[in-house]
Amino acid sequence: MAEYYIGIMSGTSVDAVDAVLCQINSAGETEHLSSHSEPFSAPLSARLHQAMSPSISDLLAFKQLEHDYSELVVTAVNNLLALSNKTAKQIKTIGCHGQTLWHHPPSIASADGSAAFTLQLLNPALIAVKTGIDVVSDFRQKDIVAGGEGAPLVPAFHHHVFARQCPARTAILNLGGIANITYLGSDKTSVIGFDTGPANTLLDLAYRLHYGSPGYDKNGHTASQGLVQEALLQRLLQDPYFTKLPPKSTGREYFSETWLNKKLNSSIKGKDLLRTLLELTVDSIVQSLTLLPHSPSLIVACGGGVHNQLLMRQLCTKLAPTNLTTTADYGIDPQAVEAIAFAWLAWCYDRRQPGNLSAVTGAQRHVVLGSKTYAN
C-alpha cells in the first residue's frame, strides 16, 4: 500500500525551506506529487548566517532561532498540504533535515582529537505537535557515531531512483551550496559518493559581500560580465581538499569567508571574483571525476545550481564529450531532489531500513538513520 510522506530540506544557501509531498509504495518507489518553497525573511536569513559561525554563544538567542526556523517549517508544511488538497491525517511521516549550522565529521575531528559531530537546527517536537504529523529528523548523527562522515546522504536515494533509469557509469551531480557527486558503477550496484567542494556557497557569499544581502547572482548574470583571475583560481584549486580521496565531506564552515580571504592577496572586482569562483566550482567538479574508477557515461545534475545558466554552460563545455542533463529529464524537479530524498529516508526509517551507504560515508556499517518524534 502506498503512503504519503513529506520531505523538508533547507540548504546552505539559506534562502528557503523546500517542502515536497511524495507517495511511496511498499517497494520504495517514490512519486513526487507536489512542492512548495517557503522563503526565509531577510532577518531570519541574516540570523541563520550569523549562527553559522563558531562564535555564537547566546543560548537564548540560539533557542529562539531554532524556534523561529521550526515555525517556518510548520508554515511550509501547512501551505504544502493546502496546495496539495491533503490533510495531516493523510500523511504518514515528515522527514525533516533541518538547517545545518556546523558539520565537524571524523575527517576533520581526527586532526585535533576532538569529538566528531554535526549540528542541524530544528525543534522536531514543535513541528510534530503543530502539524499533527510524526517527524523523523537528525539523520546524520548515527552515521557519524558509526564512524562515517554523516554526508553525503543523498547517494542512497540517487542509487534507488536512478540505477533503474540511467545507464551504467552515470554520475548524479548535486549543485547545492556544496556540490556532491554520486557515481553508479559499471554494474550499477557499486556506488561512490562524496562532496566535490563549493558550488553555490562561495558564489552566494561573494555576491553578498560585494552587492549586499540578501541576494544572489541570478543566472550567473554578474559573473558573466567578469573575467577569470587565473592566478587566484590556481591558488584556490591548490587546496588539499580537492585531491583528497573519498570518503570525504565538507561544508561552508570549511569553504568560508575566512578561507576565501586567506586566498585573496589583493583587491578584486566583485564581478571578477564571482567569475573566478564559478570557474572554481566547474574545475573542482571536473577534477573530482578523476577520482572515479571510470569516466562517467552521463552526468545528471540537480540542485539550485542548475538554474545558473553560466554555470551549466561552463560545465557542458568542460565536461564534453560527456553529456550533461538534469533530473528534469527523468521526471524529477532538480530543485526538489534533496527534499524528496529526506521523504524517502523517513520511509526507510519507518521500515527499519538502513539509509546510509558505508562505501560513501565511510561508516563501519549500514545503520537506520534518524530519530522519530511522535505527534501524540
Residues forming the annotated binding site for ATP? Answer: 11-18
Confidence (pLDDT) at 118: 96
Indicate if 15 and 62 belong to the same structural domain.
yes
C-alpha cell belonging to residue 128:
510534530
Residue 171 pLDDT level (bands cut at 50, 70, 90): very high
CA angle 192, 245, 159 (to 5 degrees): 10
Indicate if 143 and 237 belong to the same structural domain.
no
Cβ pair 280, 300 in contact under 8 A = no
Largest CA distance in the chain: 61
DSSP string, 106-119: HHHHTTTTPPPEEE
290-313 tens-digit pLDDT: 999 999 999 999 999 999 999 999
The total number of structural domains in the chain stands at 2
Q: Read off the pLDDT of each residue in 172-176 and give the average, rounded to a whole number.
A: 98
Nearest in space to 324 (alpha carbons), one of 304, 298, 345: 298
Q: How far apart are CA 134 and CA 341, in angstroms?
A: 17
228-264 tens-digit pLDDT: 999 999 999 999 999 999 999 999 999 999 999 999 9
Judged against a pLDDT cut of 90, whether residue 57 lies above it is answered with no
Indicate if 213 and 123 belong to the same structural domain.
no
Cβ pair 285, 315 in contact under 8 A = yes
Indicate if 80 and 165 belong to the same structural domain.
no
Residues forming the annotated binding site? Answer: 11-18
Cβ pair 278, 220 in contact under 8 A = yes
Indicate if 39 and 102 belong to the same structural domain.
yes
- The residue segments making up the domain with residue 196 are 154-330
DSSP string, 134-178: -EEE--SHHHHHTTS-----HHHHHHHHHTTTS-TTEEEEEESSE
Confidence (pLDDT) at 56: 56
Q: Read off the pLDDT of each residue in 254-283 and give the average, rounded to a whole number.
A: 96
C-alpha cell belonging to residue 73:
517549517
Q: Read off the pLDDT of each residue in 22-37 and give the average, rounded to a whole number.
A: 97
Range list of H helices, the chain: 42-51, 59-84, 106-109, 124-131, 141-145, 154-162, 200-211, 221-224, 230-237, 257-263, 270-288, 309-319, 337-350, 358-361
Confidence (pLDDT) at 14: 85
Indicate if 194 and 312 belong to the same structural domain.
yes
Nearest in space to 209 (alpha carbons), one of 139, 266, 153, 256: 256
Judged against a pLDDT cut of 90, whether residue 28 lies above it is answered with yes
Indicate if 261 and 183 belong to the same structural domain.
yes
72-129 tens-digit pLDDT: 999 999 999 999 999 999 999 999 999 999 999 999 999 899 999 999 999 999 999 9
CATH number at residue 13: 3.30.420.40
Q: Read off the pLDDT of each residue in 27-56 and give the average, rounded to a whole number.
A: 89
List Cβ neighbours of 281 (8 Å cut-off, separation of 6 or more): 175, 179, 197, 198, 199, 202, 203, 305, 311
